[in-house]
A and B are shown apart, each in its own frame.
Chain A
Amino acid sequence: MNIRILSFHRITLLLTFIFVSSSLAEPVSIDEIEAITIQVSAFRERQEAENEVMRLSASGVDAVIRHEAVAKKGMWYRVYVGRFEKAAQAHAYAETLKDQNIITWSWVKTSSLPDVTVQSSTPPPERKPAPVMVIAAAQAEKVPSPTSATQANVELATSVAQSTDGPTNPPTSSSSQWTEVGLEKIVQQSSGTLIEDEPEAAKNFEIHSQTTLRAFNRDTSENEDHLVLPIYQYLQIGYGNSEQGGWSMQAYGWGRSDLVDSAYFEDDNDAEFLYAYLDYRKPYSDFNLRIGRQNILTGVVNENLDGLKVGFGLWETFSATVFGGVTATTEESSSNATYGGRLAIHPQPHYEIGLAYQSTDLEDETEQKAGLDMAFSWSHWLIFQGLSSYRLDTEGWREHSYSASLRYNDLSLEPSFQFFSYQDYFDTAKQKNTLFQFLEDSDELVTIIGGSLQYQGLTPVRVATRVNQYTYDVREENADYFAGLLSVDMPGGSQIGVEAGRMDGETDDNTYTLYRAHFYWNDPFGIAESTFISADGILQFYDEPVFGKDSAENYSISAGMSLLDNAMEVKLTGSFSQDPYFDEDVEGIFTLLYNY
């Protein structure tokens, strides 16, 4: 039945597609080849992409548009600049465009482009007149054959904004063409080569699948050093139009099976429905209706429940959320009825105060908490946000968490304050039989004061430091934490980074030092943009030995590649570690990701 409905759906889409395609004025076909190019932007709306092409043309940079399916993000109008023989040339050209403030973002990649002359890497002349009109006419004459409606890639635009000589050699008469044609025609003809990957309606149905196979050895209840070979299957299904709104459906869950039946997971769940709900929403509206298993994260409420949530706005100044159902976090035999809501006041979008409440019925008592959350921002330099949560049934504050962010250009100073009362935080009947239950009797009060300093002005270098001081009321033992990280972001998504951190307790058993170095190398050796190699190395030193060892080391190396136009991705990781628990621990992980 479902297959027949799906087939009917596809036939309908195909007919619509044929009708729309055949109704376009003077379609033309263009041969495509795979080439290294630079994506400079992407838009949901075609008109915005066309405007971007015009803007680039005015700067002497020719561009093409492709309408492409992006994994997990739906359909986008991507704007590409140039074609290159080597990735290094593309990166250099992208940097030049950034230096001239023509673009702010770039992604060097291999993509299908019209079969025209390969782009040189020479930077464009500054602000030269747009060559769009002349080039468009020449290209249109060059490829006059009509497009078949069933062709996978369909030419929708009437022109090509790609110079056969590259932007370094534009026609000299282009400026007069601009004057003669007029704005409306320019918009139509300078829209670049627009290539459809697939019908837009295909974005209504999404499947994200992850299959992960692990292999390692562990002691189990039956054997020592037994091979464990679990395979995990994650599946997320979505149906609905994520841009237009309306009704949609989302479901996500996983299952696991140990291929060698090692008994290592005998006490764990083998499958879980993480969420499954129907959702209604519309653009530019705060109204949202959600029915099913879902996570409620609003104000001081963070709950997984099976039930209903309704969110809406009132007079632009207020918004509210109400929810009710049974908790989905406990075993089925002890699910608890819960309900609550949050009312927020935001006279301006950058000033918001919310009041939230949640009540959960337990066997012989009712657990109630309420709280205040707020977020303020002043101009571009100060952001203040935080929350306070109060237990109505125990009559005590559970938590105060506040942070500020002071920004000056690329420098960000973020002081923070946290306070927790163990009695009011951990005394929750919902969580009985967890190992945290004993903490409620400690009457401990912990205060964490600290913050971070982050700087992103040394592009591509980013640096950050963090300091936290832990103060305890009962056990009178403080601790300090210091950490720093430095990363270098390379073009194309590659990154090299180092981290160091030290937890410095007053006693040796609360003290450790950690060092980490890692890299992520996208498109190694210029093979393909869709491949990567990454590695991670972590060293840890403990001031007081644990099981006779005072250090640990972990190393991992990974490789992966995307297939089927990024619809599929395979990853393989091998890791080795030595630590107080294992003399040697070797693990292999293989993952297959599929996105439809």
Chain B
Amino acid sequence: MLTTMRNITIIASLSLLIWGVLAQTAWTEGYSLPLKHPQEQGQLARCSECHESEAGGFPYQRYEHTPLFGEDHRLTANGSQRVCEMCHRPNFCSDCHSPGAGLKPSLKNHGDTRRLMPHRGDYRTRHRIEGRLNPVKCFRCHGRPKTSKTCKPCHG
């Protein structure tokens, strides 16, 4: 079963790759974006201040940086790397989400109190509670051998 799935995936992937390369020579896609947003953005991007919703078919409202966007951006950012990079520098996500980023985000960006960031305050104690209630949230960043090293001094 697994071998069959794997072979199907390899064939499908290679087919898509070939088709994709060929397609680039034949078509210019309509559902596509400029590499950079033509106008500079402020601290919080509010697309709807300038764009009519879905003008040109693009779902601007999905990318609004609402007050809780810092906590809720996972599903929006997923697969939207191209949109994010129109305003943020390439791999901006890696500032916080890289495995083994060195400093936690609130230390790396110390002084910027405007941004919502995990681990502020006494997170050493709070993580005992939040880790019990939703370990998935911890796992996303610390669930890899390299990043879990920060856990080992206490957890072994």
Contacts and interface: CB of A to CB of B under 8 A. Distances in A.
Contact of A579 (B9, B99, B122, B142): B122
Interface in B1-38: 2, 5-6, 9-10, 12-13, 16-17, 19-21, 23-24, 27-38
Contact of B110 (A107, A428, A542, A571): A571
A297 B77 contact: yes
B82 to A, nearest CB: 8
Interface residues of B, number: 107
A41 B2 CA distance: 55
A366 B35 contact: no
Given A286-B32, A510-B132, A275 B38 contact: no
B135 interface: yes
Interface string A530-560: 0010111010101000100000111010111
Interface residues of A, number: 171
Given A45-B38, A426-B139, A538 B120 contact: yes
Given A299-B78, A377-B61, A487-B67, A425 B136 contact: yes
Interface in A57-115: 70, 72-74, 76, 78, 104-105, 107
Contacts of B76: 385
A175 interface: no
Among B23, B75, B102, find the residue whose CB has the most chain A CB atoms closer than 10 A: B102
A250 B91 contact: yes
A275 B94 contact: yes
Given A312-B21, A436-B135, A536-B120, A269 B110 contact: no
A254 interface: yes
Contacts of B114: 487, 493, 495, 497, 518, 520
Contacts of B12: 341
16 contacts: A42-B40, A232-B103, A275-B94, A287-B24, A297-B77, A314-B27, A330-B146, A341-B12, A375-B59, A434-B148, A435-B152, A436-B148, A452-B72, A487-B114, A534-B112, A580-B125
Interface string A209-253: 010101000000000000000001010101000111100101010
A512 interface: yes
A284 B28 contact: yes
Contact of A283 (B6, B34, B135): B34
Interface string B128-150: 11101111101110111111111
Given A368-B2, A401-B75, 13 more contacts: A48-B39, A76-B40, A285-B32, A299-B78, A331-B145, A380-B48, A380-B61, A403-B75, A435-B148, A542-B125, A571-B111, A577-B122, A580-B125
Contacts of B58: 349-350
Contact of A107 (B42, B68, B134): B42
Interface in A402-433: 402-403, 405, 407, 412, 414, 416, 420, 422, 425-426, 428, 430-433
Nearest 6 A/B pairs, CB to CB = A380-B53, A312-B20, A558-B111, A538-B121, A42-B40, A552-B122
A272 B146 CA distance: 10
B107 A589 contact: yes
Nearest to A402: B75
Contacts of A558: 110-111, 113
A210 B109 CA distance: 10
Contacts of B93: 295, 297
Given A383-B61, A431-B143, A359 B49 contact: no
